[in-house]
A and B are shown apart, each in its own frame.
Chain A
Amino acid sequence: MVTDHPETFHNQGPTTVNRMADLTMPLTPAAGLFTANEAKVTARDVTVHYGEKQALFGVSIDIPERSVTAFIGPSGCGKSTFLRCINRMNDTIPICRVAGEIRIDGADIYDRRLDPVLLRARVGMVFQKPNPFPKSIYENVAYGPRIHGTTTSRQELDEVVETSLRKAGLWDEVKDRLDQPGTGLSGGQQQRLCIARAIAVGPEVILMDEPCSALDPIATARIEELIFELARNFTIVIVTHSMQQAARVSQQTAFFHLGHLVEYGATEQIFTAPSDTRTQDYITGRFG
Protein backbone atom coordinates (compact mmCIF):
# COMPACT_ATOMS: atom_id res chain seq x y z
CA MET A 1 0.00 0.00 0.00
CA VAL A 2 1.62 3.21 -1.12
CA THR A 3 -0.41 6.20 -0.23
CA ASP A 4 0.87 9.61 0.54
CA HIS A 5 -1.24 9.82 3.59
CA PRO A 6 0.93 9.33 6.65
CA GLU A 7 -0.90 11.63 9.05
CA THR A 8 -4.18 10.69 10.51
CA PHE A 9 -6.66 12.67 12.46
CA HIS A 10 -5.24 11.28 15.70
CA ASN A 11 -1.62 12.09 15.04
CA GLN A 12 0.12 15.09 16.51
CA GLY A 13 2.15 17.63 14.63
CA PRO A 14 1.75 20.74 12.53
CA THR A 15 0.43 18.89 9.51
CA THR A 16 -2.48 17.67 11.55
CA VAL A 17 -3.34 21.23 12.41
CA ASN A 18 -3.40 22.08 8.74
CA ARG A 19 -5.60 19.19 7.96
CA MET A 20 -7.97 20.14 10.74
CA ALA A 21 -8.12 23.56 9.20
CA ASP A 22 -8.96 21.99 5.85
CA LEU A 23 -11.94 20.28 7.34
CA THR A 24 -13.44 23.51 8.56
CA MET A 25 -12.51 25.30 5.37
CA PRO A 26 -15.74 26.54 3.79
CA LEU A 27 -16.59 24.79 0.57
CA THR A 28 -17.33 26.78 -2.52
CA PRO A 29 -21.11 27.12 -2.58
CA ALA A 30 -21.29 24.71 -5.50
CA ALA A 31 -19.49 21.91 -3.63
CA GLY A 32 -21.57 21.91 -0.44
CA LEU A 33 -24.78 20.10 0.30
CA PHE A 34 -27.98 21.34 -1.22
CA THR A 35 -30.29 18.53 -0.17
CA ALA A 36 -31.99 17.81 3.12
CA ASN A 37 -29.92 14.62 3.43
CA GLU A 38 -26.83 14.56 5.64
CA ALA A 39 -23.41 14.24 4.05
CA LYS A 40 -22.29 10.60 3.94
CA VAL A 41 -18.98 11.08 2.20
CA THR A 42 -16.98 14.26 2.64
CA ALA A 43 -13.83 14.90 0.67
CA ARG A 44 -11.48 17.82 1.24
CA ASP A 45 -8.70 18.85 -1.08
CA VAL A 46 -8.14 15.38 -2.52
CA THR A 47 -5.15 15.18 -4.85
CA VAL A 48 -4.02 12.09 -6.75
CA HIS A 49 -0.76 11.45 -8.58
CA TYR A 50 0.03 8.50 -10.81
CA GLY A 51 3.82 8.65 -10.63
CA GLU A 52 4.74 12.12 -11.88
CA LYS A 53 1.40 12.76 -13.47
CA GLN A 54 -1.20 14.56 -11.39
CA ALA A 55 -4.67 13.16 -12.02
CA LEU A 56 -6.76 15.06 -9.47
CA PHE A 57 -6.37 18.61 -8.21
CA GLY A 58 -7.80 19.43 -4.80
CA VAL A 59 -11.27 17.93 -5.05
CA SER A 60 -13.65 18.89 -2.22
CA ILE A 61 -17.17 17.58 -2.23
CA ASP A 62 -19.97 16.53 0.13
CA ILE A 63 -21.94 13.50 -1.05
CA PRO A 64 -25.36 13.18 0.62
CA GLU A 65 -26.60 9.89 2.05
CA ARG A 66 -29.39 7.84 0.54
CA SER A 67 -29.36 9.53 -2.83
CA VAL A 68 -27.66 9.14 -6.20
CA THR A 69 -24.71 11.33 -7.10
CA ALA A 70 -23.45 11.20 -10.68
CA PHE A 71 -19.90 12.03 -11.78
CA ILE A 72 -19.66 13.14 -15.38
CA GLY A 73 -16.86 14.43 -17.56
CA PRO A 74 -14.77 13.53 -20.60
CA SER A 75 -12.42 10.52 -20.55
CA GLY A 76 -9.38 11.14 -18.40
CA CYS A 77 -11.04 13.89 -16.39
CA GLY A 78 -10.44 12.13 -13.06
CA LYS A 79 -13.97 11.05 -12.24
CA SER A 80 -13.14 7.33 -12.03
CA THR A 81 -9.92 8.12 -10.17
CA PHE A 82 -11.88 10.03 -7.56
CA LEU A 83 -14.51 7.29 -7.36
CA ARG A 84 -11.77 4.75 -6.67
CA CYS A 85 -10.44 6.93 -3.84
CA ILE A 86 -13.72 6.47 -1.97
CA ASN A 87 -13.07 2.78 -1.29
CA ARG A 88 -9.28 2.97 -1.54
CA MET A 89 -9.14 0.95 -4.72
CA ASN A 90 -6.21 3.14 -5.71
CA ASP A 91 -4.19 1.51 -2.92
CA THR A 92 -3.75 -1.45 -5.25
CA ILE A 93 -1.91 0.69 -7.81
CA PRO A 94 1.72 0.99 -6.64
CA ILE A 95 2.49 4.31 -8.38
CA CYS A 96 -0.67 5.98 -7.14
CA ARG A 97 -0.45 8.57 -4.36
CA VAL A 98 -3.51 10.02 -2.68
CA ALA A 99 -3.39 13.17 -0.54
CA GLY A 100 -6.11 15.15 1.17
CA GLU A 101 -8.93 13.81 3.22
CA ILE A 102 -11.96 11.59 2.67
CA ARG A 103 -14.35 10.84 5.49
CA ILE A 104 -17.34 8.55 5.65
CA ASP A 105 -19.71 9.44 8.49
CA GLY A 106 -16.96 11.68 9.78
CA ALA A 107 -14.33 8.92 10.02
CA ASP A 108 -11.12 9.24 8.02
CA ILE A 109 -11.01 6.31 5.57
CA TYR A 110 -7.28 6.76 5.01
CA ASP A 111 -6.62 6.25 8.71
CA ARG A 112 -3.67 3.84 8.93
CA ARG A 113 -5.40 1.62 11.40
CA LEU A 114 -8.35 1.11 9.12
CA ASP A 115 -8.42 -2.20 7.27
CA PRO A 116 -9.14 -1.45 3.59
CA VAL A 117 -10.87 -4.81 3.27
CA LEU A 118 -13.40 -3.80 5.91
CA LEU A 119 -13.77 -0.42 4.24
CA ARG A 120 -14.62 -2.13 0.94
CA ALA A 121 -17.35 -4.11 2.67
CA ARG A 122 -18.90 -0.79 3.68
CA VAL A 123 -18.23 0.77 0.30
CA GLY A 124 -19.15 -1.65 -2.45
CA MET A 125 -18.23 -1.30 -6.07
CA VAL A 126 -19.80 -2.28 -9.39
CA PHE A 127 -17.68 -2.09 -12.52
CA GLN A 128 -18.20 -1.21 -16.13
CA LYS A 129 -17.97 -4.78 -17.37
CA PRO A 130 -19.94 -7.32 -15.34
CA ASN A 131 -17.32 -9.50 -13.64
CA PRO A 132 -19.01 -12.41 -11.88
CA PHE A 133 -16.67 -14.96 -10.32
CA PRO A 134 -16.39 -18.21 -12.26
CA LYS A 135 -18.63 -19.83 -9.68
CA SER A 136 -22.32 -20.55 -9.27
CA ILE A 137 -24.85 -17.76 -8.94
CA TYR A 138 -25.28 -18.70 -5.28
CA GLU A 139 -21.56 -18.67 -4.58
CA ASN A 140 -21.11 -15.31 -6.26
CA VAL A 141 -23.44 -13.70 -3.74
CA ALA A 142 -22.40 -15.87 -0.77
CA TYR A 143 -18.72 -15.11 -1.29
CA GLY A 144 -18.63 -11.78 0.50
CA PRO A 145 -20.63 -12.77 3.61
CA ARG A 146 -18.42 -15.88 3.85
CA ILE A 147 -15.06 -14.12 3.79
CA HIS A 148 -16.28 -11.40 6.12
CA GLY A 149 -17.90 -14.03 8.35
CA THR A 150 -21.07 -12.00 8.64
CA THR A 151 -23.31 -15.07 8.66
CA THR A 152 -23.20 -17.94 11.12
CA SER A 153 -25.32 -20.67 9.56
CA ARG A 154 -26.15 -22.03 6.14
CA GLN A 155 -29.74 -20.95 6.65
CA GLU A 156 -28.68 -17.40 7.41
CA LEU A 157 -26.45 -17.38 4.35
CA ASP A 158 -29.34 -18.63 2.21
CA GLU A 159 -31.41 -15.74 3.47
CA VAL A 160 -28.71 -13.18 2.70
CA VAL A 161 -28.33 -14.60 -0.82
CA GLU A 162 -32.06 -14.46 -1.43
CA THR A 163 -32.51 -10.96 0.00
CA SER A 164 -29.56 -9.62 -1.97
CA LEU A 165 -30.79 -11.18 -5.21
CA ARG A 166 -34.26 -9.79 -4.54
CA LYS A 167 -32.92 -6.30 -3.88
CA ALA A 168 -30.95 -6.56 -7.10
CA GLY A 169 -34.16 -7.51 -8.93
CA LEU A 170 -32.70 -10.83 -10.07
CA TRP A 171 -34.28 -13.39 -7.73
CA ASP A 172 -37.27 -14.36 -9.88
CA GLU A 173 -35.03 -14.92 -12.89
CA VAL A 174 -32.46 -17.13 -11.15
CA LYS A 175 -34.14 -18.76 -8.13
CA ASP A 176 -34.44 -22.12 -9.95
CA ARG A 177 -30.85 -22.22 -11.11
CA LEU A 178 -28.76 -20.90 -8.24
CA ASP A 179 -26.19 -23.65 -8.82
CA GLN A 180 -25.60 -22.64 -12.44
CA PRO A 181 -22.50 -20.60 -13.26
CA GLY A 182 -22.93 -16.82 -12.94
CA THR A 183 -21.06 -16.36 -16.19
CA GLY A 184 -23.91 -18.09 -18.02
CA LEU A 185 -26.29 -15.19 -17.37
CA SER A 186 -26.98 -12.39 -19.86
CA GLY A 187 -24.94 -9.19 -19.56
CA GLY A 188 -27.69 -7.32 -17.75
CA GLN A 189 -28.30 -10.23 -15.40
CA GLN A 190 -24.56 -10.52 -14.71
CA GLN A 191 -24.46 -6.84 -13.80
CA ARG A 192 -27.40 -7.28 -11.42
CA LEU A 193 -25.62 -10.32 -9.99
CA CYS A 194 -22.59 -8.10 -9.31
CA ILE A 195 -24.88 -5.58 -7.61
CA ALA A 196 -26.37 -8.41 -5.50
CA ARG A 197 -22.82 -9.47 -4.62
CA ALA A 198 -22.02 -5.93 -3.52
CA ILE A 199 -25.21 -5.65 -1.47
CA ALA A 200 -24.69 -9.03 0.26
CA VAL A 201 -22.06 -7.68 2.66
CA GLY A 202 -24.34 -4.87 3.79
CA PRO A 203 -22.56 -1.83 2.40
CA GLU A 204 -23.59 1.76 3.07
CA VAL A 205 -22.14 3.26 -0.06
CA ILE A 206 -22.22 1.69 -3.53
CA LEU A 207 -19.84 3.00 -6.17
CA MET A 208 -20.72 2.30 -9.78
CA ASP A 209 -18.24 2.85 -12.56
CA GLU A 210 -20.21 3.08 -15.81
CA PRO A 211 -22.41 0.14 -14.79
CA CYS A 212 -24.53 0.22 -17.95
CA SER A 213 -22.03 0.94 -20.70
CA ALA A 214 -21.93 -2.71 -21.79
CA LEU A 215 -25.69 -3.21 -21.61
CA ASP A 216 -28.56 -2.85 -24.07
CA PRO A 217 -31.30 -0.24 -23.40
CA ILE A 218 -33.67 -2.72 -21.72
CA ALA A 219 -30.99 -4.05 -19.35
CA THR A 220 -29.91 -0.42 -18.75
CA ALA A 221 -33.46 0.56 -17.84
CA ARG A 222 -33.59 -2.36 -15.35
CA ILE A 223 -30.35 -1.23 -13.71
CA GLU A 224 -31.56 2.38 -13.56
CA GLU A 225 -34.80 1.29 -11.95
CA LEU A 226 -32.72 -0.72 -9.50
CA ILE A 227 -30.48 2.27 -8.74
CA PHE A 228 -33.59 4.29 -7.96
CA GLU A 229 -34.79 1.58 -5.56
CA LEU A 230 -31.38 1.14 -3.93
CA ALA A 231 -31.09 4.86 -3.23
CA ARG A 232 -33.72 4.49 -0.51
CA ASN A 233 -31.19 2.61 1.61
CA PHE A 234 -27.78 3.24 0.11
CA THR A 235 -25.63 6.17 -0.86
CA ILE A 236 -24.91 5.68 -4.54
CA VAL A 237 -22.18 7.30 -6.56
CA ILE A 238 -22.24 6.58 -10.27
CA VAL A 239 -19.75 7.45 -12.97
CA THR A 240 -21.41 7.63 -16.36
CA HIS A 241 -20.64 8.80 -19.86
CA SER A 242 -24.29 9.11 -20.69
CA MET A 243 -25.66 12.58 -19.95
CA GLN A 244 -29.17 11.25 -20.24
CA GLN A 245 -28.40 8.55 -17.70
CA ALA A 246 -26.97 11.06 -15.24
CA ALA A 247 -30.03 13.25 -15.76
CA ARG A 248 -32.36 10.29 -15.29
CA VAL A 249 -30.94 8.61 -12.21
CA SER A 250 -29.14 11.17 -10.07
CA GLN A 251 -30.15 13.90 -7.65
CA GLN A 252 -26.70 15.53 -7.66
CA THR A 253 -24.28 15.82 -10.52
CA ALA A 254 -20.59 16.65 -10.36
CA PHE A 255 -18.73 17.65 -13.51
CA PHE A 256 -15.00 16.88 -13.67
CA HIS A 257 -12.62 18.29 -16.22
CA LEU A 258 -8.84 17.86 -16.48
CA GLY A 259 -8.64 16.60 -12.91
CA HIS A 260 -10.68 19.43 -11.40
CA LEU A 261 -14.16 19.34 -9.95
CA VAL A 262 -15.60 22.12 -12.07
CA GLU A 263 -19.19 22.21 -10.96
CA TYR A 264 -21.34 20.32 -8.50
CA GLY A 265 -25.03 20.93 -8.09
CA ALA A 266 -28.57 19.62 -8.15
CA THR A 267 -29.01 17.52 -11.27
CA GLU A 268 -31.93 19.58 -12.56
CA GLN A 269 -29.83 22.72 -12.34
CA ILE A 270 -26.76 21.17 -14.00
CA PHE A 271 -28.76 19.94 -16.98
CA THR A 272 -30.99 22.96 -17.50
CA ALA A 273 -28.88 25.90 -16.38
CA PRO A 274 -25.26 25.00 -15.55
CA SER A 275 -23.29 27.94 -14.19
CA ASP A 276 -19.87 27.09 -15.64
CA THR A 277 -19.30 27.39 -19.40
CA ARG A 278 -17.15 24.25 -19.38
CA THR A 279 -20.04 22.25 -17.94
CA GLN A 280 -22.36 23.75 -20.50
CA ASP A 281 -20.01 23.01 -23.40
CA TYR A 282 -19.59 19.43 -22.26
CA ILE A 283 -23.22 18.52 -21.64
CA THR A 284 -24.43 20.20 -24.81
CA GLY A 285 -21.86 18.34 -26.90
CA ARG A 286 -19.64 21.29 -27.77
CA PHE A 287 -16.38 19.62 -26.79
CA GLY A 288 -15.47 16.10 -25.94
Chain B
Amino acid sequence: MSDHIVRAFDADLRTLRGMIAEMGGLAEKMMTESTRALAARDIELARRVIAMDPKLDALQREIEEKAILTIARRQPMAVDLRDVVSAIRIASDLERIGDLAKNVAKRVVAIAGQFHPQKIVTGVEHMSDLVMAQLRDVLDAYAARDDERAMDVWKRDGQIDALYTALFRELLTYMMEDPRNITFCTHLLFAAKNVERIGDHTTNIGETVHYLVTGHTLTAERPKNDTSSFTTLDEATGS
Protein backbone atom coordinates (compact mmCIF):
# COMPACT_ATOMS: atom_id res chain seq x y z
CA MET B 1 0.00 0.00 0.00
CA SER B 2 1.21 3.49 -0.80
CA ASP B 3 2.56 5.74 1.93
CA HIS B 4 0.71 8.40 3.87
CA ILE B 5 1.17 12.05 3.01
CA VAL B 6 2.22 12.50 6.63
CA ARG B 7 5.22 10.18 6.76
CA ALA B 8 5.43 10.17 10.55
CA PHE B 9 2.13 8.25 10.49
CA ASP B 10 3.79 5.45 8.49
CA ALA B 11 6.61 5.42 11.03
CA ASP B 12 4.07 5.07 13.87
CA LEU B 13 2.40 2.10 12.22
CA ARG B 14 5.74 0.49 11.38
CA THR B 15 6.81 0.80 15.00
CA LEU B 16 3.63 -0.91 16.16
CA ARG B 17 4.12 -3.77 13.72
CA GLY B 18 7.75 -4.10 14.80
CA MET B 19 6.72 -4.33 18.45
CA ILE B 20 4.14 -7.01 17.65
CA ALA B 21 6.82 -8.96 15.79
CA GLU B 22 9.08 -8.70 18.82
CA MET B 23 6.31 -9.88 21.15
CA GLY B 24 5.45 -12.70 18.76
CA GLY B 25 9.08 -13.84 18.70
CA LEU B 26 9.26 -13.82 22.47
CA ALA B 27 5.93 -15.65 22.95
CA GLU B 28 7.05 -18.26 20.42
CA LYS B 29 10.32 -18.74 22.26
CA MET B 30 8.57 -19.13 25.63
CA MET B 31 6.27 -21.71 24.09
CA THR B 32 9.10 -23.72 22.46
CA GLU B 33 11.30 -23.70 25.52
CA SER B 34 8.56 -24.58 27.97
CA THR B 35 7.79 -27.65 25.84
CA ARG B 36 11.46 -28.57 25.69
CA ALA B 37 11.71 -28.10 29.44
CA LEU B 38 8.70 -30.36 29.93
CA ALA B 39 10.06 -33.09 27.66
CA ALA B 40 13.47 -33.03 29.31
CA ARG B 41 12.19 -32.15 32.81
CA ASP B 42 14.75 -29.31 32.68
CA ILE B 43 14.15 -27.05 35.67
CA GLU B 44 16.78 -24.51 34.67
CA LEU B 45 15.20 -24.00 31.27
CA ALA B 46 11.75 -23.80 32.87
CA ARG B 47 12.96 -21.06 35.20
CA ARG B 48 14.37 -19.13 32.25
CA VAL B 49 10.95 -19.30 30.56
CA ILE B 50 9.29 -17.97 33.72
CA ALA B 51 11.80 -15.12 33.80
CA MET B 52 10.89 -14.07 30.24
CA ASP B 53 7.27 -13.27 31.12
CA PRO B 54 7.78 -9.78 32.63
CA LYS B 55 9.42 -8.66 29.39
CA LEU B 56 6.39 -9.82 27.40
CA ASP B 57 4.03 -8.00 29.78
CA ALA B 58 6.07 -4.81 29.45
CA LEU B 59 5.94 -5.04 25.65
CA GLN B 60 2.17 -5.39 25.74
CA ARG B 61 1.86 -2.25 27.84
CA GLU B 62 4.15 -0.37 25.47
CA ILE B 63 2.09 -1.46 22.47
CA GLU B 64 -1.12 -0.33 24.13
CA GLU B 65 0.34 3.05 24.97
CA LYS B 66 1.75 3.50 21.50
CA ALA B 67 -1.58 2.48 19.92
CA ILE B 68 -3.58 4.89 22.08
CA LEU B 69 -1.15 7.68 21.27
CA THR B 70 -1.45 6.90 17.56
CA ILE B 71 -5.25 7.05 17.73
CA ALA B 72 -5.11 10.38 19.59
CA ARG B 73 -2.51 11.89 17.30
CA ARG B 74 -3.43 10.55 13.86
CA GLN B 75 -7.12 9.73 14.12
CA PRO B 76 -6.69 6.70 11.91
CA MET B 77 -9.44 5.68 9.51
CA ALA B 78 -10.32 2.47 7.64
CA VAL B 79 -7.35 0.10 7.24
CA ASP B 80 -5.18 2.28 9.51
CA LEU B 81 -7.78 2.14 12.25
CA ARG B 82 -7.99 -1.64 11.85
CA ASP B 83 -4.20 -1.80 11.95
CA VAL B 84 -4.03 -0.02 15.31
CA VAL B 85 -6.96 -1.93 16.82
CA SER B 86 -5.46 -5.23 15.63
CA ALA B 87 -2.15 -4.40 17.29
CA ILE B 88 -3.94 -3.93 20.62
CA ARG B 89 -5.86 -7.20 20.24
CA ILE B 90 -2.91 -9.28 19.10
CA ALA B 91 -0.69 -7.89 21.86
CA SER B 92 -3.25 -9.00 24.42
CA ASP B 93 -3.45 -12.52 22.91
CA LEU B 94 0.33 -12.81 22.85
CA GLU B 95 0.53 -11.69 26.46
CA ARG B 96 -1.90 -14.48 27.41
CA ILE B 97 0.10 -16.99 25.38
CA GLY B 98 3.15 -15.98 27.40
CA ASP B 99 1.25 -16.49 30.65
CA LEU B 100 0.13 -19.96 29.58
CA ALA B 101 3.66 -20.95 28.51
CA LYS B 102 4.86 -19.72 31.88
CA ASN B 103 2.26 -21.93 33.58
CA VAL B 104 3.54 -24.96 31.67
CA ALA B 105 7.06 -24.08 32.84
CA LYS B 106 5.82 -23.89 36.43
CA ARG B 107 4.41 -27.43 36.13
CA VAL B 108 7.87 -28.60 35.02
CA VAL B 109 9.30 -27.29 38.26
CA ALA B 110 6.52 -29.02 40.20
CA ILE B 111 7.03 -32.48 38.68
CA ALA B 112 10.82 -32.38 38.68
CA GLY B 113 12.80 -35.17 40.28
CA GLN B 114 10.25 -37.90 39.73
CA PHE B 115 10.80 -40.71 37.27
CA HIS B 116 8.07 -41.29 34.70
CA PRO B 117 7.84 -43.19 31.47
CA GLN B 118 8.63 -40.83 28.59
CA LYS B 119 5.69 -42.10 26.53
CA ILE B 120 3.27 -40.27 28.85
CA VAL B 121 4.93 -36.96 28.02
CA THR B 122 5.13 -37.59 24.29
CA GLY B 123 1.44 -36.82 23.68
CA VAL B 124 1.70 -33.36 25.25
CA GLU B 125 4.91 -32.72 23.34
CA HIS B 126 3.26 -33.63 20.07
CA MET B 127 0.33 -31.33 20.77
CA SER B 128 2.71 -28.50 21.66
CA ASP B 129 4.53 -28.95 18.37
CA LEU B 130 1.26 -28.55 16.49
CA VAL B 131 0.28 -25.43 18.42
CA MET B 132 3.74 -23.99 17.91
CA ALA B 133 3.43 -24.43 14.16
CA GLN B 134 0.04 -22.71 14.35
CA LEU B 135 1.49 -19.77 16.27
CA ARG B 136 4.36 -19.41 13.81
CA ASP B 137 1.95 -19.51 10.87
CA VAL B 138 -0.43 -16.96 12.30
CA LEU B 139 2.39 -14.54 13.10
CA ASP B 140 3.66 -14.91 9.55
CA ALA B 141 0.13 -14.31 8.29
CA TYR B 142 0.00 -11.11 10.36
CA ALA B 143 3.35 -9.90 9.07
CA ALA B 144 2.34 -10.62 5.47
CA ARG B 145 -1.28 -9.44 5.89
CA ASP B 146 -2.24 -12.85 4.50
CA ASP B 147 -5.89 -13.60 5.17
CA GLU B 148 -5.85 -17.04 3.54
CA ARG B 149 -3.02 -18.23 5.72
CA ALA B 150 -4.67 -16.82 8.84
CA MET B 151 -7.88 -18.66 7.96
CA ASP B 152 -5.96 -21.92 7.52
CA VAL B 153 -4.72 -21.57 11.08
CA TRP B 154 -8.24 -20.83 12.23
CA LYS B 155 -9.62 -23.95 10.57
CA ARG B 156 -6.87 -26.20 11.93
CA ASP B 157 -7.67 -25.43 15.57
CA GLY B 158 -10.24 -28.21 15.56
CA GLN B 159 -7.42 -30.75 15.21
CA ILE B 160 -5.78 -29.46 18.36
CA ASP B 161 -9.00 -29.65 20.30
CA ALA B 162 -9.49 -33.24 19.13
CA LEU B 163 -5.94 -34.08 20.15
CA TYR B 164 -6.54 -32.60 23.57
CA THR B 165 -9.62 -34.75 24.06
CA ALA B 166 -7.62 -37.85 23.07
CA LEU B 167 -4.83 -36.88 25.43
CA PHE B 168 -7.28 -36.38 28.25
CA ARG B 169 -8.52 -39.95 27.81
CA GLU B 170 -5.02 -41.32 27.56
CA LEU B 171 -3.89 -39.64 30.78
CA LEU B 172 -7.02 -40.85 32.53
CA THR B 173 -6.12 -44.39 31.50
CA TYR B 174 -2.60 -44.08 32.97
CA MET B 175 -4.11 -42.84 36.20
CA MET B 176 -6.44 -45.84 36.30
CA GLU B 177 -3.56 -48.21 35.65
CA ASP B 178 -1.41 -46.98 38.47
CA PRO B 179 -2.51 -44.45 41.11
CA ARG B 180 1.13 -43.41 41.54
CA ASN B 181 0.79 -41.73 38.15
CA ILE B 182 -2.00 -39.44 39.31
CA THR B 183 0.07 -36.46 40.52
CA PHE B 184 2.22 -36.47 37.44
CA CYS B 185 -0.66 -37.00 35.04
CA THR B 186 -2.69 -34.24 36.65
CA HIS B 187 0.16 -31.81 36.13
CA LEU B 188 0.51 -32.99 32.56
CA LEU B 189 -3.21 -32.57 32.02
CA PHE B 190 -3.01 -28.96 33.16
CA ALA B 191 0.00 -28.43 30.95
CA ALA B 192 -1.95 -29.88 28.01
CA LYS B 193 -4.90 -27.64 28.80
CA ASN B 194 -2.57 -24.62 28.80
CA VAL B 195 -1.24 -25.63 25.41
CA GLU B 196 -4.76 -26.05 24.10
CA ARG B 197 -5.59 -22.55 25.34
CA ILE B 198 -2.54 -21.22 23.52
CA GLY B 199 -4.10 -22.74 20.43
CA ASP B 200 -7.29 -20.77 21.13
CA HIS B 201 -5.38 -17.50 21.40
CA THR B 202 -3.61 -18.38 18.17
CA THR B 203 -6.94 -18.68 16.39
CA ASN B 204 -8.00 -15.37 17.98
CA ILE B 205 -5.01 -13.82 16.27
CA GLY B 206 -6.13 -15.49 13.05
CA GLU B 207 -9.53 -13.84 13.43
CA THR B 208 -7.88 -10.48 14.04
CA VAL B 209 -5.76 -10.86 10.90
CA HIS B 210 -8.93 -11.64 8.96
CA TYR B 211 -10.52 -8.44 10.31
CA LEU B 212 -7.39 -6.43 9.59
CA VAL B 213 -7.19 -7.57 5.98
CA THR B 214 -10.87 -7.69 5.00
CA GLY B 215 -12.58 -5.28 7.41
CA HIS B 216 -15.08 -7.97 8.33
CA THR B 217 -15.48 -9.70 11.65
CA LEU B 218 -15.72 -13.48 11.53
CA THR B 219 -19.18 -14.45 12.58
CA ALA B 220 -19.00 -18.21 12.06
CA GLU B 221 -18.33 -20.47 15.02
CA ARG B 222 -14.85 -21.84 15.03
CA PRO B 223 -14.62 -25.63 14.56
CA LYS B 224 -14.48 -27.04 18.08
CA ASN B 225 -13.53 -30.63 18.86
CA ASP B 226 -12.72 -30.42 22.53
CA THR B 227 -15.26 -32.77 24.10
CA SER B 228 -13.26 -33.42 27.27
CA SER B 229 -15.75 -31.38 29.32
CA PHE B 230 -18.37 -34.06 28.56
CA THR B 231 -16.13 -37.10 28.87
CA THR B 232 -16.93 -39.52 31.70
CA LEU B 233 -14.58 -42.00 33.31
CA ASP B 234 -16.34 -44.99 31.75
CA GLU B 235 -16.11 -43.53 28.29
CA ALA B 236 -12.50 -42.55 28.72
CA THR B 237 -11.31 -45.96 29.80
CA GLY B 238 -13.68 -47.84 27.55
CA SER B 239 -15.06 -49.86 30.43
Binding site for B on A (CB under 8 A): 243-244, 247, 271-274, 279-281, 283-288
User: Which A residues lie within 8 Å of B2 (CB)?
Assistant: 281, 286-287
Q: Does B216 sit within 8 A of A, measured CB to CB? A: yes
* CB–CB A284/B4 < 8 A: yes
A125 to B82: give the CA distance in the assembly, Å. Answer: 36
Distance (whole angstroms) from the CB of B38 to the closest CB of chain A = 42
* CB–CB B77/A283 < 8 A: yes
* CB–CB B214/A273 < 8 A: yes
Contact of B77 among A243, A287, A288 (CB under 8 A): A243
* CB–CB B6/A285 < 8 A: yes
Distance (whole angstroms) from the CB of A283 to the closest CB of chain B = 4
Contact of A286 among B3, B75, B81 (CB under 8 A): B3
* CB–CB A283/B78 < 8 A: yes
* CB–CB B81/A272 < 8 A: yes
Q: For residue A277, which residue of chain B has the nearest CB?
A: B1
* CB–CB B6/A284 < 8 A: no
* CB–CB A284/B79 < 8 A: yes
* CB–CB B78/A273 < 8 A: yes
A287 to B6: give the CA distance in the assembly, Å. Answer: 10
* CB–CB A284/B80 < 8 A: yes
Give the residues from 38 to 84 in chain B that come closer than 8 angstroms, CB to CB, to chain A.
Answer: 75-82
Q: Does B223 sit within 8 A of A, measured CB to CB? A: no
Distance (whole angstroms) from the CB of A270 to the closest CB of chain B = 8
Given A272-B215, A273-B216, verify A285-B5 contact (CB < 8 Å): yes
Distance (whole angstroms) from the CB of A253 to the closest CB of chain B = 11
Given A272-B82, A273-B214, A273-B216, verify A284-B3 contact (CB < 8 Å): no
A286 to B76: give the CA distance in the assembly, Å. Answer: 12
Q: List 11 A-B contacts (CB under 8 A).
A: A244-B75, A271-B78, A271-B81, A272-B78, A280-B78, A280-B79, A284-B4, A284-B78, A285-B5, A286-B3, A287-B5
